[in-house]
């Protein structure tokens, strides 16, 4: 039971939460001033502290140095007593069990700092063992430079001990450095502690400054989490220390941990500014779903084109010119770094229209290899009668030629000098001469089927939408069954589907994988809170369309937590209901 902690916003593994003390605190945050340590059982037997709602009480504990054998830890382990005030259990990353407390402090945290792999392993091990709606405390390690990475990994609570100690030792901390105070002829900060003349600045002031710098960085981190943009910040911030960059990359290898916690859609744009962007969950997931779930349903030739800066691509000037030449005679697939390949049906699907990249025309080898691999997997899964590559030389053509050779294909290239020059556009039109146009109906049907594949799984589009009609204008397509009952609507902002109650029933009856949330005997209106959730499918992600069902209600809505989190949590909004019917 976590009565005293609640998660309000999520950004991957990072969260903005509320420590519900008598004076509530928004996390990630420093908690030194409200932390009370009942002490170690190594030095003395401890009475259970009284505790109250004004502070966070660390229950009596036995900490173990990193590397203590498991059997030793187990024989001395302390079970947290059941208390009715905000409490913290001290655990070792090598032997964690859920203790029913509001927060957990990692005892061996010092031994993992400075080592990317060890830190990531420790955070992931603890987070996976404790309930999602509990807070994780890292004591004695936070600095202005590392705290963004720690929060990104999933740590919620910190103290200023390390920053203050370093200050009294004459180390002046900033988000990018740890200076020796005597080396600074000028202070690179204007916080209250740094206002006075340089010659009067003491080590005590330095400790004050370090604390300010840490608090200010935490405020930026909270803002970034609320915006869903901590990763973009971290790709820059982690550069200031090699081990932090290593930790960010190690965390990217923890696919299961990060993927489960990353929403399938959001408003936040992705800044593709570093090579590490390619390894983000959002990018890898899109590539994975396009090459394992999506299936091309058109009989026409494939036309590969470069992406455009304007999104969705079809609204850009270059793509309008391509369209004038193609005239629905080819299936358009855009090639792009960092997304990979984007079939025309998925051009609005998150993150295909939600990223900005650095435009230099130069491709790195990592980008070329990533897009080649995605294109190769795409072409291994989808067969076309003919492939036309309407791509410029820089990078794009190199990628297509690699895949052409690997798969032994015969690709027609149509760009003379530039993709939008007259000669190139004439070549493109000529390459498609004699091909039949597909209809608007076919286009719309295939679009909503592609969205269902992408969102729900391989084959879902055919399972769900075999006999349909579509109405309204692209991209706000409405899906109706053969009796004209509305089943779903395309959401152009994120390129997803939102179901009606009839659509949800149809989905449940179909062979397509469902995402179900089982609730108690009540009729939900607005939000379903976590305590009302009995069970939820594990593959539900934030932003997923979900069917909500209980003894008294049948409803459809959108997930605000991932599946396991809904089932585990005792506080917070699990999903938002769009339509509900009493049973
Ligand atoms: Zn300062």
- pLDDT per residue over 467-500, tens digit each? 999 999 899 999 999 999 999 999 999 999 999 9
Tell me, what's the pLDDT at 235? 96
Whole-number Å distance, alpha carbon 422 to ligand 1 midpoint, is 59
Whole-number Å distance, alpha carbon 18 to ligand 1 midpoint, is 27
Tell me, what's the pLDDT at 359? 73
Whole-number Å distance, alpha carbon 418 to ligand 1 midpoint, is 53
Whole-number Å distance, alpha carbon 223 to ligand 1 midpoint, is 20
Tell me, what's the pLDDT at 49? 81
Is the pLDDT at 251 greater than 80? The verdict is yes
Tell me, what's the pLDDT at 126? 95
Whole-number Å distance, alpha carbon 29 to ligand 1 midpoint, is 18
Q: What is the mean pLDDT of residues 497-521?
A: 97
**More confident of the two residues 69 and 307:** 307
Whole-number Å distance, alpha carbon 227 to ligand 1 midpoint, is 26
Whole-number Å distance, alpha carbon 28 to ligand 1 midpoint, is 21
For the chain, percent of residues with pLDDT exceeding 90: 86
Tell me, what's the pLDDT at 61? 84
Confidence band of 97 (pLDDT split at 50, 70, 90): confident
Q: What is the mean pLDDT of residues 123-135?
A: 95
In the predicted model, what is the mean pLDDT of the chain? 94
Is the pLDDT at 216 greater than 70? The verdict is yes
Tell me, what's the pLDDT at 65? 66
Distance CA(301)–CA(295), nearest Å, equals 14
Confidence band of 394 (pLDDT split at 50, 70, 90): confident
Tell me, what's the pLDDT at 1? 56
Tell me, what's the pLDDT at 223? 98
Tell me, what's the pLDDT at 386? 98
Whole-number Å distance, alpha carbon 219 to ligand 1 midpoint, is 15
| Bridging pattern class, strands 331-336 and 302-306 | parallel
Whole-number Å distance, alpha carbon 336 to ligand 1 midpoint, is 43
Whole-number Å distance, alpha carbon 188 to ligand 1 midpoint, is 7
Distance CA(331)–CA(303), nearest Å, equals 6
Tell me, what's the pLDDT at 256? 95
Whole-number Å distance, alpha carbon 181 to ligand 1 midpoint, is 12
Give the tens place of pLDDT for each residue, 6-43: 999 999 999 999 999 999 999 999 999 999 987 777 77
Tell me, what's the pLDDT at 361? 73
**More confident of the two residues 135 and 394:** 135
Whole-number Å distance, alpha carbon 174 to ligand 1 midpoint, is 8
Whole-number Å distance, alpha carbon 172 to ligand 1 midpoint, is 9
Is the pLDDT at 395 greater than 80? The verdict is yes
Tell me, what's the pLDDT at 575? 97
* Of the candidates 503, 502, 477, 479, the residue with the CA atom closest to the CA atom of residue 491: 477
Whole-number Å distance, alpha carbon 476 to ligand 1 midpoint, is 52
* Of the candidates 139, 366, 350, 145, the residue with the CA atom closest to the CA atom of residue 243: 145
Confidence band of 76 (pLDDT split at 50, 70, 90): low
Whole-number Å distance, alpha carbon 36 to ligand 1 midpoint, is 28
| Bridging pattern class, strands 270-272 and 29-30 | unpaired
Tell me, what's the pLDDT at 2? 75
Whole-number Å distance, alpha carbon 315 to ligand 1 midpoint, is 48
Whole-number Å distance, alpha carbon 323 to ligand 1 midpoint, is 56
Tell me, what's the pLDDT at 127? 95
Least confident range from 66-75, 110-119, 313-322: namely 66-75
Give the tens place of pLDDT for each residue, 414-454: 999 999 999 999 999 999 999 999 999 999 999 999 999 99
Distance CA(379)–CA(543), nearest Å, equals 29
Whole-number Å distance, alpha carbon 228 to ligand 1 midpoint, is 28
Whole-number Å distance, alpha carbon 372 to ligand 1 midpoint, is 48
Contact 160, 139 (CB under 8 A): no
Whole-number Å distance, alpha carbon 189 to ligand 1 midpoint, is 4
Tell me, what's the pLDDT at 66? 64
Indicate the burial class of 18 (C-beta count within 10 angstroms; 0-12, 13-18, 19 or more).
Answer: middle
Angle of CA points 519, 523, 524, to nearest 5°: 75
């Amino acid at each position: 039971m976590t009565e005293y902690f609640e998660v309000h916003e999520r950004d991957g593994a990072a969260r903005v939460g509320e420590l519900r003390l008598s004076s509530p605190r928004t996390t990630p945050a420093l908690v030194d001033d409200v932390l009370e340590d009942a002490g170690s059982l190594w030095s003395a037997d401890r009475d259970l502290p009284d505790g109250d709602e004004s502070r966070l009480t660390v229950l009596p504990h036995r900490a173990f140095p990193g590397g203590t054998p498991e059997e030793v830890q187990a024989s001395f382990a302390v079970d947290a007593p059941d208390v009715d005030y905000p409490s913290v259990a001290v655990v070792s990353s090598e032997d964690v069990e859920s203790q029913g407390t509001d927060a957990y402090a990692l005892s061996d945290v010092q031994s993992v700092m400075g080592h990317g792999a060890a830190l990531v392993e420790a955070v992931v091990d603890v987070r996976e063992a404790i309930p999602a709606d509990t807070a994780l405390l890292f004591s004695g390690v936070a600095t202005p430079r590392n705290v963004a990475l720690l929060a990104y990994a999933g740590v919620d609570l910190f103290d200023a001990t390390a920053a203050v100690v370093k200050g009294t030792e004459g180390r002046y901390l900033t988000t990018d450095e740890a200076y020796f105070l005597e080396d600074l002829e000028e202070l690179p900060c204007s916080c209250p502690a740094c206002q006075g003349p340089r010659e009067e600045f003491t080590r005590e002031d330095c400790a004050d400054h370090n604390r300010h710098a840490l608090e200010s960085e935490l405020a930026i981190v909270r803002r970034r989490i609320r915006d869903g943009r901590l990763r973009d910040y971290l790709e820059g911030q982690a550069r200031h220390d090699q081990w932090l960059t290593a930790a960010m990359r190690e965390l990217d290898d923890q696919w299961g941990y990060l993927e489960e916690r990353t929403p399938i859609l959001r408003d936040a744009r992705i800044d593709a500014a570093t090579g590490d962007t390619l390894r983000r969950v959002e990018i890898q997931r899109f590539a994975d779903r396009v090459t394992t779930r999506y299936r091309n349903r058109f009989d026409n030739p494939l036309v590969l084109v470069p992406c455009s800066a304007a999104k969705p691509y079809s609204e850009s000037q270059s793509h309008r010119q391509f369209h004038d030449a193609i005239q629905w005679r080819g299936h358009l697939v855009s090639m792009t770094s960092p997304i990979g390949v984007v079939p025309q049906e998925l051009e609005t699907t998150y993150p295909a229209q939600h990223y900005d990249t650095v435009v230099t025309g130069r491709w790195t080898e990592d980008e070329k290899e990533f897009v080649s691999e995605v294109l190769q997997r795409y072409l291994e899964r989808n067969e076309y009668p003919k492939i036309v590559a309407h791509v410029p030389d820089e990078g794009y053509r190199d990628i297509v030629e690699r895949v052409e050779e690997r798969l032994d294909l015969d690709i027609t290239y149509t760009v003379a000098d530039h993709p939008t020059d007259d000669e190139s556009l004439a070549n493109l039109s000529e390459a498609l001469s004699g091909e039949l146009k597909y209809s608007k109906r076919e286009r719309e049907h295939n679009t909503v089927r592609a969205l269902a594949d992408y969102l729900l799984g391989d084959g879902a589009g055919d399972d769900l939408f075999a006999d349909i009609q579509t109405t309204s204008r692209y991209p706000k397509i409405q899906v109706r069954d053969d009796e004209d009952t509305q089943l779903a609507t395309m959401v152009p902002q994120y390129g997803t589907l939102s179901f009606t109650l009839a659509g949800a029933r149809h989905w449940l009856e179909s062979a397509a994988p469902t995402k179900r949330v089982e609730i108690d005997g009540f009729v939900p209106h607005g939000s379903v809170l976590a305590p009302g959730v009995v069970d939820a499918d594990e593959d539900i992600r934030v932003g997923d369309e979900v069917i909500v069902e209980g003894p008294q209600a049948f409803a459809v809505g959108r997930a605000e937590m991932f599946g396991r989190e809904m089932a585990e949590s005792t506080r917070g909004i699990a999903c938002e209901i769009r339509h509900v019917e009493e049973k």
